[in-house]
Amino acid sequence: MFDYTFLWPLVWAEWPQLLAGARVTLEITILSMAVATVAAFPLALARRAGKGLSCQAATIWVEAARNTPCLVQIYMVYFGLGALGLHIGSYFAVLGAITFNNTGYLAEMFRGGLNAVAPQQFNAGRSLGLTAFQTYKNIIFPQVFRIVYFPFVNQITWAMLNSSLGMIIGLRELTGATQMAQSVSFRTFEFFVVAAGLYYAIAKSVQILARVVAWRAFRRA
Amino acid sequence: MARLQTGLNVMQFVLPYSGLQWSDLPFMLEGAWRTIMLTIMAGSLGTLLGVIVGWLRETFVSFRIGLIPFIDVIRSVPLIIQFILVNSFQSILGLQFDPFWIGVVTLSIYMAVLTSELVRAGLQSVRPELSRAGRSLGMSYWQGFLHIRAPLAIRTALPGWIGALIALTKDTALVSVIGYIELLRAAQVLINRSNEALLILAGVGLFYFVICYPVSLYARRLERRLAI
């Protein structure tokens, strides 16, 4: 039954292509996380306000991002905006959709973190004569940062995994590049095993790096 | 004039890119049904397997350590690649399963990994004194498991399990990469023909939302109610 010979040299011949794909994957992961982190803060604060137009808009964003498949979100940006006459390339479509997705998840995460800090701490800071900004900067955020840190690292992995959906709309990130590379020889299994290994290596590096950073940052506690 | 009218009608009829019609609805509904079937099959198989694996991992050190690499890999390789790998591996073996079953198997393994983590966390949350108290009351291991540990573990694990089920529902959209026509793939077929991308995608997005959102609201309420 098993008369298949694995041919790995074919994969190594395309190694540079896979690495180029991995670079695009990393790029999208880092950029989308950076933009989403910045965008998620106002959303979390708006959701905490509990009423008003901005809260409703933030709620719609968060729930739409969390309750529809990421692939639908990517299609929406790529084909949906295209139907409106706004044509964007697959790179920015994937980047935009994953940023939208990340922002929804991160906003909820930050909101949970802010809720976990007792409100008395804010009042205490204020009564010690700190300004509201100083209170946030020196008292609230350091605590939120500690609560949110590991879920945030998980979200980085999720962003990386979700960027693989770029293959479906023809982006040459790691999965897409592998798909292109294997289409010459159709050694699908060998190529995607190597791609899986690369994803695993990236995910593990992120986690190890995160642990080192956590060890340095939270050591005093 | 009448003849011209009929001529035009005929011409419109032959146009290659016809718009969206009511007759497309059954096609979409078929896709939606397949998405639901995938979720139910993979959800139940994955949960069953996950509960067993979670119990094994919590009970035996060999399973706890032996399964680490496997679980690690499943969690940090994109699901798309897992589908492609399972699909190409079965053709290497010379088998020809229906893409539906490839999808169910891959999603079940994924769901089992998520569930086993939750089961483990749930069992860990039960204080050992409780099951020891059960033992000293004369309960057997299985009686203690069934009447003391499992109910308390379910309390901890249930909201997370519902979350995993929602994630699974959304992930069924990826089965399209191995050529199974579920809801999203059906939508794409219609988009290619009708060019009504925005309308169709909004409908598809709404379908997932209508399934996932109430369930996630329920999970959040449950979490608050079950908080000990």
Which CATH number goes with the domain that contains A205? 1.10.3720.10
Of A18, A111, A192, which to mutate for an interface test with B (greatest number of B Cβ within 10 Å)? Answer: A192
Q: How many CA atoms lie within 13 A of B59 on its CB side?
A: 11
For residue B31, CA distances in Å to A50, A57, A72, A80, B84 come to 38, 31, 15, 20, 21
Cβ separation B205–A64 shorter than 8 A: yes
pLDDT at A141 (0 to 100): 87
Tell me the C-alpha distance between A82 and A143, whole Å.
43
**pLDDT for residue B106:** 95
Q: How far apart are CA A96 and CA A33, in angstroms?
A: 11
pLDDT in tens, B29-75: 999 999 999 999 999 999 999 999 999 999 999 999 999 999 999 99
In chain B the first and final C-alpha atoms are separated, in Å, by 79
Distance CA B99, CA B93 (A): 15
Q: Name the minimum distance, in Å, from the CA of B133 to any CA of chain A.
A: 34
pLDDT of residue B7: 46
Contact B116, B71 (CB under 8 A): yes
Report the complex ipTM. 0.89
Determine contact: B85 vs chain A, CB below 8 A. yes
CB-nearest to A200 from B77, B177, B216 is B77
Query: Which chain B residues in 86-115 lie under 8 Å from chain A, judged by CB atoms?
Result: 88-89, 92-94
pLDDT score for A221: 54
Flag whether A2 is in a domain: no
Residues of A in contact with B162 (CB under 8 A): none
| A3 falls within a domain | no
Q: What pLDDT, on a 0 to 100 scale, did the predictor assign at position B228?
A: 60
Reading phi first (left if > 0) and then psi (alpha if -120 to 50, else beta), residue B97 is in: beta
Query: What band does B112 get if pLDDT is binned at 50, 70 and 90?
Result: very high
Nearest Cα residue to A153 out of A89, A217, A85, A60: A217
Instruction: Return the HEC string of chain B.
Output: CHHHHHHHHHHHHHCCCCCCCHHHHHHHHHHHHHHHHHHHHHHHHHHHHHHHHHHHHHHCHHHHHHCHHHHHHHHHCCHHHHHHHHHHHHHHCCCCCCHHHHHHHHHHHHHHHHHHHHHHHHHHCCCHHHHHHHHHCCCCHHHHHHHHHHHHHHHHHHHHHHHHHHHHHHHHHHHHHHCCCCHHHHHHHHHHHHCCHHHHHHHHHHHHHHHHHHHHHHHHHHHHHHCC
CB nearest to A69's CB, from B72, B80, B170? B170
Distance from CA of B33 to the nearest CA of A (A): 17
For residues B192 and A83, the answer to whether their CB atoms sit within 8 Å is no
Q: Please return the burial class of A85, using the count of CB atoms within 10 Å of its CB with bins 0-12, 13-18 and 19+.
A: exposed
In a domain, A55, yes or no: yes
Is-contact B174 A72, C-beta < 8 A? no
| Residue in A closest to B211 by C-alpha | A67
**What is the domain range of residue A31?**
8-218
Residue A57 is predicted with a pLDDT of: 94
| Euclidean distance between CA atoms A217 and B82, whole angstroms | 35
Question: Does the beta-carbon distance from B79 to A204 stay under 8 Å?
Answer: no
HSE, CB side, 13 Å, CA atoms: give it for residue A144: 23
Interface with chain A: mutation pick from B201, B209, B220, highest number of A CBs within 10 Å: B201
| Cross-chain residue pair A192–B89, CB shorter than 8 Å | no
Answer yes or no: is A118 within a domain. Answer: yes
Residues across chain B: 228
Give the count of domains, chain A: 1
- The residue among B80, B88, B90 whose CA lies nearest residue B176 is B80
* DSSP annotation of A166: G
Cα of B89 to nearest chain A Cα, Å: 7
Mark yes or no for CB contact A203/B76 under 8 Å: yes
Q: What is the pLDDT of residue B25?
A: 87
The reply to whether A18 falls in a domain is yes
Asked if residue A77 lies in contact with residue B186, where contact means CB atoms within 8 angstroms, the answer is no
The whole-number pLDDT of residue A174 equals 93
Helical H segments across chain A, by residue range: 9-13, 15-49, 53-67, 70-75, 81-83, 90-116, 119-127, 132-135, 141-163, 174-185, 188-217
Check whether B17 has a pLDDT greater than 60: no
| Residue B204 in contact with partner chain A when CB distance is under 8 A | yes
When pLDDT is cut at 50, 70 and 90, the band that residue B14 belongs to is very low
Residue of B36, B75, B76, B86 to mutate, interface with A, max A Cβ within 10 Å = B76
Asked whether the beta carbons of residue B196 and residue A83 sit closer than 8 angstroms, the reply is yes
| The predicted structure's pLDDT at residue B101 | 93
Average pLDDT of chain B is: 88
Contact call for A189 and B88, based on CB within 8 A: yes
- Predicted confidence at residue A220, as pLDDT, reads 66
The confidence score (pLDDT) of residue B50 equals 96
* Chain A residues with CB-CB distance to B202 below 8 A: 76, 80
**Taking the domains of chain B in order of start, what are their residue ranges?**
24-227
Please identify which residue in the block is written with the tokens 């790998």.
B85
Checking if the pLDDT of B8 tops 90, the result is: no
Asked whether the predicted pLDDT for residue B5 surpasses 60, the reply is no
Tell me, yes or no, whether A1 lies in a domain. Answer: no
What percent of chain B shows pLDDT beyond 70?
A: 92
Q: What amino acid is encoded at A9 in this protein?
A: P
* Cα atoms in the 13 Å half-sphere on the side-chain side of A136: 5
The pLDDT tens digits of the residues spanning B121-162 come to: 999 999 989 988 988 999 999 999 999 999 999 988 998 999
- Which chain A residues have any C-beta within 8 angstroms of a chain B C-beta? 1-2, 4, 63-64, 66-73, 75-76, 79-80, 82-84, 157, 161-162, 164-165, 167-168, 175, 188-189, 192-193, 195-196, 199-200, 203-204
Q: Is residue A71 within 8 Å of A94, Cβ to Cβ? A: no
In contact, A108 and A154? CB cutoff 8 Å: no
Question: What string of pLDDT tens digits covers the 221 residues of chain A?
Answer: 567 888 888 888 889 999 999 999 999 999 999 999 999 999 999 998 888 899 999 999 999 999 999 999 999 999 988 888 888 899 999 999 999 999 999 999 999 999 998 889 989 999 999 998 999 889 988 899 899 999 999 999 999 999 999 999 999 999 999 999 888 888 889 999 999 999 999 999 999 999 999 998 887 65
- Residues for chain A: how many in total? 221
What is the CATH architecture assignment of B24-227? Orthogonal Bundle (1.10)
In the predicted structure, residue B175 carries a pLDDT above the cut 70? yes
Q: Please give the full DSSP string across A123-141, using - where no structure is assigned.
A: HHHHHTT--HHHHIIIIIH
